[in-house]
Amino acid sequence: MILLGLLFIKFVFSYEIDVNTFSNYLDVQNRHVHFEWLINMEKKLINATANYQFHVVGSSIYKISLDIKDLTIYTIYMDNGVVLRYSVDYPYADSDQGQRLNIMLNREYKRDEFVILTIKYSIDARSESISFMDISQTQTKSMPYLFTQCEDAYCRSLAPLQDTPAIKQTYSATIIYKDIEASDVFMSADETQEQFTILNHPSINPNFTWKYKYFVQKTPIPSYLFAIVAGNLLKVPTSNGGRTFLISEPDKINEYKEELKDMEQFLQAIEQYIGPYTWGTYTIVILPPSFPYGGMENPLLTFASPTIMTKTGSGLYVAIHEMAHSWFGNTITCINWANMWINEGFTVFLERKASLFYYKVLDDIKLNAIIGNATMYQDILDLGPDNNFTSLHPDTTGINPQLSISEIPYEKGFQFLTFLEGIVGAEDFKYMLRSYLNKYKYKSIDQQEFQHFILRYLYEQHVDDYSTKRYRILEYWDTWIYQPGLPPIILDFSTNKLIETQQYTTSYIIADGRQPDNYAQYFNFYPSQKKVFLEELFKKAQNNQLKLNIIEQIDKDLQLTNDNDYELKFRWFKAILTAGDRTRFNLIANFLGEVGTCEISCPVYKALNELDHDFAVQTFQTHQEFYHQIIRNSIQSILEKNIQLIK
């Protein structure tokens, strides 16, 4: 009994805490929130109410603390109408993480009681989670546009929340908007015919009609997965399967639909490895080009950058990645941002397994792992190999967790899981992952819990050589997680295609400005192989081997400056800028004004800044209104050598 009791205590209290929330979420936890948002796109204003169902899980509480940032709070009241006092403080005044809203309750609440309260507040253009776009910033130039981006800790500027991945809640919403400002609105939730009671009816205006839409998300999700998009939007099925849908502005929807016609097959490829998709339908929104990421896995409403629409299919791995998050990230979630690899490493692992089922080309998967490794290696060099952010457990105390994000949780996380798969065996590992999903679905966990699970699973399954496997799993576990820099074990992703691509790159260097005999080989490369070629060129540029006459010949042969594939184009620009090429500055500046995705624009800014800081700053100043706030911050930190120039 004593032993059991001790084990229980260890199990309950061993979870890591989240240092990036100011809420008292260990004592009280939100179970459901209902939003009512009245959107005024013209004024860039949302009049909002949020009604919460808080569950007391500590022994007792007198107050509820929530995260907020740049919100205006009007009043807070209980369901019986009692108005509550509140205060706002700044736990880390300089850390860019917002404020703490302290709500004084009308009495002491004991464990297992519920506190139902409502906050009236407003959201305006200061909100970092919302982009209000003018008509001129959209593709069809017919209506304004609005979208949110809450990951990591930006949802606190959308609503007062326990803004931590540790807390999962269901949500519902009433969205009220003008017919002249949006043809439709969607959320990371199901639309419902149920009409919720309206707290604040808008006044009637003869110039437009107010429209109402109702949403319900029945699966508990963390706040970073709350999402809304509004504008001139169409929703169409991508295939006859009935599960997958596409949303975009109307002008390019047929083009996007053609490119995404295999979404149902992607979903089936993922299911083949990991088991059934449990969220019902799957919808991807292709956003305007200022969307700051390649993709964002909002449940039932993946957001994606138009840069993934390459016409060659090379950007579709982003769609597969976001789909894979439906299992890892959205069903099982990291408990804090230090454990982000619990979301991203697992998702990259599943993305590559599914890509193999779908494309059936092992070399392509290996080349993708090589490209991922190269990006991670560059991030380690940029951050410094001793930097804690290059570990799988970055310390985000006192800082905006966004600052710790890099390729490391994705690729080192993927490599760690590949290493573990090598010990466990591919089939056993697959069934272990399915069992892991079943056990922890709708929960948030840390890496220690995953370690407990994998060892317990192997023990209970009576796998061969259990003790040897256990030893090998534990031998490097903490080094993988906590040690900064390169992974402790170098994995072998080598393939003949890599050697072939390296030889092809060298043939251009040797030809020294002439056309090599094998130049046309490029046109038969896989998309991943083309990226590897451009990364190889970048390495040659770093070693001063990529001379300007070679650049001209490559561009003449392969037309890279004119390529429509953003993934290829940014690598080309990165390589030639590193080689010192100044002849395409204007084209590069225009390119940077078209792409708001940091994965694409940031490496180009970095190379441009190193070659010509003043021109990089000038380019940024020209385009800064176009960029999302998150990316503006990232680019500014790249250019920070001369930050006073930027206002």
Judged by the rule CB under 5 A, the positions of this chain that interact with Zn ion are 344, 347
Q: Which is nearer to Zn ion, 28 or 308 (CB)?
A: 308
Tell me which of 410, 457, 605, 627 is the catalytic residue. Answer: 410
For 566, the 3-state DSSP assignment is helix
| 442 contacts: CB under 8 Å, gap ≥ 6 | 168, 219, 220, 331
What is the three-class DSSP state of 386?
coil
Q: Residue 375 or 619: which CB sits closer to Zn ion?
A: 375
User: In whole angstroms, how close is the CB of 303 to Zn ion at the nearest point?
Assistant: 12
**Closest separation between CB of residue 98 and Zn ion, Å?**
24
Cα gap 195→212, rounded to integer Å: 9
Measured distance CA(76)–CA(215) in Å, rounded? 23
SS3 sequence of 310-334: CCCCCCHHHHHHHHHCCCECCCEEE
Give the nearest distance from C-beta 215 to Zn ion in angstroms: 23
Q: Write out the two tokens for 341.
A: 């690899």
Strand segments, DSSP code E, in 390-452 are 443-445
Residue number, 49 or 347, with CB nearest to Zn ion: 347
Q: Is 325 annotated as a binding residue?
A: yes
Secondary structure class of 624 (helix, strand, coil)? coil
Instruction: CB nearer to Zn ion: give 297 or 581.
Output: 297
- Give the residue from 272, 213, 268 showing the smallest Cα distance to 244: 268
321 assigned ligand-binding residue: yes
User: Smallest distance, Å, CB 378 to Zn ion?
Assistant: 19
Closest approach, Cβ 557 to Zn ion, in A, equals: 35
Structure tokens belonging to residue 229: 């998009």
Question: Which residue number, 148 or 501, has a Cβ lying nearer to Zn ion?
Answer: 148
Q: How far apart (Å, rounded) are the C-alpha atoms in residues 117 and 65? A: 13
Measured from the CB atom, is 98 or 413 closer to Zn ion? 413
**How far, in whole angstroms, is CA 383 from its chain's centroid?**
20
* Closest separation in Å from C-beta 102 to Zn ion: 34
* b/e code 465-476 from CB counts within 10 Å (16+ = b): eeeebbebbeeb
Catalytic residue among 181, 322, 535, 536: 322
| Residue 322 annotated among the catalytic residues of the structure | yes
Spatial neighbors of 148 by CB under 8 A, at least 6 apart, are 129, 130, 131, 158, 226, 227, 228, 229
**Nearest Cα to 67, choosing from 26, 17, 101, 33?**
101
> Binding site for Zn(2+), residues?
321, 325, 344
> Binding site, residues?
321, 325, 344
Active-site residue set: 322, 410
